[in-house]
Amino acid sequence: MTLTPAAAPGLGLAVTSGVSMGLPPIGELASHLALLLAWALVLSLSLQTLLTGWFVMRVRWLLQQRQRWPTEPAGGWPAAEVVLCLRGADPSLAGALAALASQTYPGPWRLQLVVDSQADPAWSVAKASLAALEACGRAGWLAAQLRPLEQRPRRGSLKSASLRQAFAHLHPDTALVALVDADAIVSPQWLANLARACSQPGVGAVSGNRWYQPQGPSLAGRVRAGWNGGALVLMTLLGIPWGGSLAVRRQVIDAGAWSDRLISSLCEDTSLIQPLRQLGWRYAFRPELIALDQDNSLAFAELVPWIGRQLLTARLHHPAWPLVALHGAGSALLLSAAAAWLLLGRSALLAGALGLYELGCMGLLLWIEATALSALTRPGSDTIPRQAAPIWRRAWDWLRDLPVTQLVYAVAFWHGCWDRQVGWRGVTYRVLGRREPGGPGVEALGWDDELNRSTGPRSRF
């Protein structure tokens, strides 16, 4: 006897030639999968909303906590030293040095610059800027030192080698060391904010983060800003420092564990956490230390390598990398599966859920943007500009670029996980795994000497 679906409606089975297939129809499977993906998108958006809400409340609480601090650190303002490592002349270098010269730090402080070589274009820019600032009396530092990198080691990055050299030449009175990047324009209160935050009990290192506000119609700049908005929340949640606006106590450097890690490390910030914990200190994120970056020169082809390198530093050196990987892999797989399923078939439910997800992410970016700008813009100061565009225009910009941002993030995440080589400012490094001699870290495969005769995008990123 041959059963038909009509003969066995309760079973929901298709049976032909007397043989039961035992499987739901293809259309039913497709409907179930679409429903599963739709629910996954809603749950993912809900989780991201909770994390963003936590970030917003955290920033507000930290800013309110700062108002209760004494105006001067216990024991007075520590002698500070700002370290800036340079390779290639960033377009914002002169502006960054002018911002440092305008610091209103009440205590004594010094500036130390380490440049890749005297032939590097950054050398002449830095030398001229320092001389001009000191000649017109605008320099707030006690002394400024400009040194070339004495040795290019094979192990570790040039940035790490420059920092090790700078640490070896710290002034004996220095009690606080601040690191800054050449593409970060800091506020006049930046160094004082670092000192106050790092002087709190139990805190051994503090940092802010960066907020990108590209000037002009640059798709690459907007995509990087969108990715960085999400990264800002994740880095705050997981305690990942940013070396572009970072301060550490002198004791952390003198203890030697961090400097030893710099021998083979790709970067300084993510490699700081474990040595800090070993000394009994903790790291603290401070929203008032967020630095504005308005650079608009990043080429679209450089986006994936740039974001991939940021992820690689966490993979090599930070204990929270498994959670970063879970976020990256989960986001990429979920959005890829949803997009592929919509391309292969039609599902109004899944299309609606994906549209809701994108609209929700747009709203979260607006929320993060407002929170970051509230930390950047201080009462009585017009140093940091607010967004001039109306909210509907900013919302449309975020939404329009969101699919490209998500695609770039997925590709960059893959590179950050699996690349065995990484390029950074004209240097190609081989990635050393945890089981390799000298790992985790990098070793240089070669230097691009053309960088010393170029100030183009290749030298900056």
pLDDT score at 377: 61
Nearest C-alpha neighbor of 291 from the set 204, 215, 180:
180
Count of beta carbons in the 10 Å neighbourhood of residue 24: 14
What is the pTM assigned to this prediction?
A: 0.85
Helix, strand or coil, per DSSP, at residue 246: strand
Consecutive 10-residue averages of pLDDT for the chain (461 residues):
40 40 60 89 96 96 89 91 92 90 95 94 94 91 95 91 96 96 85 94 94 85 94 96 94 93 93 93 93 82 94 94 95 93 84 95 96 73 58 90 96 94 89 85 76 41 36
User: What's the sign of the alpha-carbon dihedral 241, 247, 249, 253?
Assistant: positive
Report residue 183 as tokens.
Answer: 């593409």
Count of beta carbons in the 10 Å neighbourhood of residue 308: 22
pLDDT score at 323: 95
Looking at 3.40.50.1220, 3.30.70.260, 3.40.47.10, 3.90.550.10, the CATH number of the domain 43-60+76-460 comes to: 3.90.550.10
pLDDT score at 5: 41
317-322 contacts, C-beta under 8 A, 24 or more apart: 317/261, 317/265, 317/266, 317/267, 317/270, 317/271, 317/273, 317/440, 318/238, 318/240, 318/270, 318/271, 318/273, 319/273, 319/274, 320/238, 320/239, 320/240
pLDDT score at 215: 78
- How many residues would you count in the chain? 461
Residues 6+ apart with CB under 8 A from 10: none
pLDDT score at 6: 40
Count of beta carbons in the 10 Å neighbourhood of residue 8: 13
Could you tell me the residue ranges of all domains in the chain?
43-60+76-460
